Amino acid sequence: MWTFTTKAAFFDLDGTLTDAHVWHGIMDYFAFHNKRRWTHRAYMAYHFPLYIFRRMGIISDGTFRKPWPAHLGWYVRGYTLEEAEHVWNWVADTHVRNNWRQDTCQILKQHREDGYLTVLVSGTPVPLLQRLAKDIAADQVVGTDLEVHEGRYTGRSSGPACIADNKVTLTQAYMERKGIEIDYGGSYAYADSISDSYMLEMVANPIATYPDEGLRRIALERHWQIFPSE
């Protein structure tokens, strides 16, 4: 257990470390194996209207995104942990493996070599995030926990989805639980989406990484570093 103050480098996943969308990889698994078609239809029926509302400016990007990771648990409802592991491995090996951004992965590697604690902070389900962390040798993960009852996934998340402002709350709670005291003033954060601005604000060294239009605007206003440099 970490019991001393340490500097950390926090990394969002989708759009930051990879140009693939991990949530889409989960959907691809079930489409490829011709499973959970009604689950997918229900997922899309719930989320597509929210997408329209966001495009119309009726709801915020954070409001639109928050249910996404929480509802990914629908796809593995009733699965044992071992059964779901096949899903996580397929997504990692088939959907993500060839889509890592080599430049940002190199930044993570350099931080690790410089003695920083490297942490993936993502809405991705925790077991899948742990699997992906192994591929790039990240130290810790903070993600969306999926509820398990009697050894099977219930289809629900066991807490708030790790997205938008929840990324800060869950990250800080995780570090406290692990006994890791973070020097946020000496730490870095990397993310691509405007909904990740909360996580970037958490540290003294925010890096807008392959930023979307909203995050780029904020980064320019606040004089945050943008990567790749413009």
pLDDT of residue 54: 77
CA–CA separation, 87 vs 76, rounded Å? 9
Low-confidence ranges of the chain (pLDDT < 70): 1-4, 230
Number of domains into which the chain is organized: 1
pLDDT of residue 1: 46
CA–CA separation, 75 vs 146, rounded Å? 11
pLDDT of residue 87: 97
Find out whether the peptide bond into 228 is cis, omega within 30 degrees of 0: yes
Domain of residue 56: give its range: 5-227
pLDDT of residue 8: 98
Q: What is the CATH number of the domain that holds 188?
A: 3.40.50.1000
C-alpha angle with apex 69: 65 to 70, nearest 5 degrees? 105
Q: In the chain, pLDDT over 70 holds for what percent of residues?
A: 97
pLDDT of residue 230: 67
- Return the bridge partners of 188, or none: 9, 205
pLDDT of residue 2: 43
Spell out the residues 6+ positions from residue 221 whose beta carbon is closer than 8 angstroms to its own: none
